[in-house]
Amino acid sequence: MKLIGSYTSPYVRKISVILLEKGLPFDFVNDSPWSEETQVPQVNPLGKVPALVADDGEVWFDSPVIAGYLETLAAGPALLPADPQAALRVRRLESLADGVTDAAVALVLEMRREADKRDEAWIVRQRAVLNRGLDALEQHAQAQQAMNGDTLNLADIAVACALGYINFRRIAPGWCVDRPALIKLVERLFQRQSFARTTPP
């Protein structure tokens, strides 16, 4: 299997962590979709990473879809419950975490613009999304339903990748205030080999 992506992308990290947790061997192809020489649009028409080229040559993209594909391989520990509705509840939290990541990425891109070209209303909107998303995730982490339980699942991984990215880009340094369950979750997950080996450079 071939994982195409960049080392700093939180979505790519999510897939790398899943592959490592499942013990699935893969080659990492480092390709930044922002570089002029990128080959990413040739595998994913959307020009985004991650993209996964399976052993049979089929290409999968969008991290939730790739995660779903990897689950079908039935290799290593399952990251979703067997019950379809329970699995969907985990996937809903994965979606929530990915949405927080989307808001963080949007903020990072906006902050890269020159100060007088930034859209303040857009920044305020993305910060609100990020904060509401994190508040909701904190509640779920406290309840330990569909995430933060004894068995690692897809939601846990997506949440830890979102928070790892927020830390890495220092986009919301105060995220941990009043969110003790999320702090515990990342402290626990960042100790795993899969996360240690995929820390952004």
Q: Where does this chain bind ligand GSH (CB under 6 A)? A: 9, 11, 33, 47-50, 62-63, 98, 105
Peptide bond into 50 cis (omega under 30): yes
- The SS3 call for residue 197 is coil
Toward ligand GSH, which CB reaches closer, 95 or 145? 95
- The order of strands in the sheet holding 59-61 is 27-30, 2-5, 51-53, 59-61
- Closest approach, Cβ 164 to ligand GSH, in A, equals 12
> In this structure, what token pair is assigned to residue 124?
């305020």
In the block, which residue shows the tokens 């949405």? 99
84-111 vs 120-143: helix crossing angle, rounded to 10: 150
Residue 40: CB minimum distance to ligand GSH, A: 7
Shortest Å distance, C-beta 201 to ligand GSH: 14
Nearer CB in complex with ligand GSH: 169/188 = 169
Q: In whole angstroms, how close is the CB of 144 to ligand GSH at the nearest point?
A: 25
- DSSP E strands in 50-128: the ranges are 51-53, 59-61
> Nearer to ligand GSH by C-beta: 33 or 164?
33
The residue (of 31 and 145) whose beta carbon lies closer to ligand GSH is 31
